[in-house]
Structure 1
Amino acid sequence: MRVLAISGSLRAASTNSALLRAAAAVAPDGVTVTVFAGLDGRGVGGLPLFNPDDDGGDGEPALPTVRAFRAALVAADAVVIACPEYAHGVPGALKNALDWVVASGELVDKPTALLHASPRSAYARAALAEVLTVMSARLVEEASVTIPLMGKTPDEAAVILTSAESVAALRGALLAMGVAVAARGTG
């Protein structure tokens, strides 16, 4: 199973990004977790601000970075999003990325899980769940977990890998995604 992991945080010291790296490290056999690194529109390969005028008239986006993002979503069997909360909402860079795939449909019926590094991200989780539901992504509640890392740096977040409870939660989430992917294939 191929899982595309997307961090909603652009911070270098992001605990949500660390959570995704930990998920990749503890993935069960047969599961590959690839962390997407293109939300930051400032860098090479980053997504620009969404503008429908830049989405080619033939359904093919004019911008290579958008094509690459959409191709990564198509290639994935499932998507995992780790998202911080900003002002009770979804960070702008993540919302921008999702805006690029609203009309093109790469998330339609795609098993999707929400991971959080803070139990205080309830508003962002609800907002993100609403956006993904409108986009027809299939939210997998059994795979959506919170592993509290508040106040930790990414180096300190490596403690995830030494916590049997955290490793079990991440592996359990990925196994639940596998069940959802298998059900999609037979449904």
Structure 2
Amino acid sequence: MRILAISGSLRTASGNSRLIEALPALVPPGVEVVIWRGLDTLPYFNPDLDGETPPTAVAELRRQVGLAHGLVICSPEYAHGVSGAMKNALDWLVSSLEFPAIPLALINAAPRAVHAIAHLRETLTTMSAAFVEAACVTVPLQGRDLSPAQIPEVPEVGGVLARAMADFCAALPALQAQRLFDNRS
């Protein structure tokens, strides 16, 4: 089983990225977490460039989404909205054949950041994501200087993420089977 994880932050010391980087230690055995780090390589979304041969970075993002059984997004909130870099990536996925019905988990690193999560949900619902609600969690990372290696050791952060990832992985086989069936219909 393969999970693609994306942080919506470009910051070097991002809490969102640290949560994503901790996921490989928090998933059940036999699950591979691939962290996509190409957010800063995507060009600004331009429908004129979204033809048969999209930009290389866009093609790679779409390929990674296509290879994944599920997608995990952890994105910060800026000015009561989604980071521009994350929204840009999603814009490039709107017309992709790989995205519709992909099982999805949202992780929120800051309990007070409710606007970005709401915006992400609205955008991803419009894009036909299949939310796994039990895997959509908020963890109190804000203000904690935890490394990805330390996160699993903190019950209110690592424990919550581990349970969310267990629920996510348990839901993936049925959702993936439905997705494949729908794509063949």
User: What TM-score do the two structures reach when normalised by structure 1?
Assistant: 0.89
On the 8 A contact 2:151/2:158 being kept in 1, the answer is yes
RMSD: 1.5
- Given that 2:140 and 2:156 are in contact with CA atoms closer than 8 Å, whether structure 1 keeps it comes out as no
Runs ≥4 in structure 1, deviation > 4 angstroms?
A: none
Name the CA shift for 1:186/1:38 in 2 (closer, same or farther; >3 Å): closer
> Structure 1 vs Structure 2: percent identity of aligned residues?
48
**Are 1:24 and 2:19 counterparts?**
no
Say whether the 8 Å CA contact 1:14–1:153 is kept in structure 2: no
1:49 and 2:44 equivalent?
A: yes
C-alpha deviation, 1:105, in angstroms? 3.4
Amino acid at match of 1:178: C
Shift of the 158–152 alpha-carbon distance from structure 1 to 2, 3 Å rule, reads farther
Q: Distance in 2 between matches of 1:161 and 1:154?
A: 10
Contact 1:140–1:177 (8 Å) recurs in 2:
yes
Unaligned runs of 5+ in 1: 41-45
**Aligned equivalents of 1:186 and 1:107: distance in 2?**
15
Give the superposition deviation at 1:26. Answer: 2.0
Q: Give TM-score scaled by structure 2 length.
A: 0.90
Gaps of 5+ in 2: 179-185
Equivalences, count: 178
Task: Report if aligned partners of 1:13, 1:154 keep a CA contact under 8 Å in 2.
Answer: no
The reply to whether residue 124 of structure 1 matches residue 91 of structure 2 is: no
Q: Does the aligned pair in 1 maintain the 2:26–2:165 contact within 8 Å?
A: no
Deviation digits for residues 29-75 of structure 1 (CA, Å, limit 9, x no counterpart): 011111110111xxxxx11111011112xxx3331111111000000
Counterpart position of 1:68? 60
CA 1:137–1:61 in structure 2 vs 1: closer, same or farther (change >3 Å)? Answer: farther
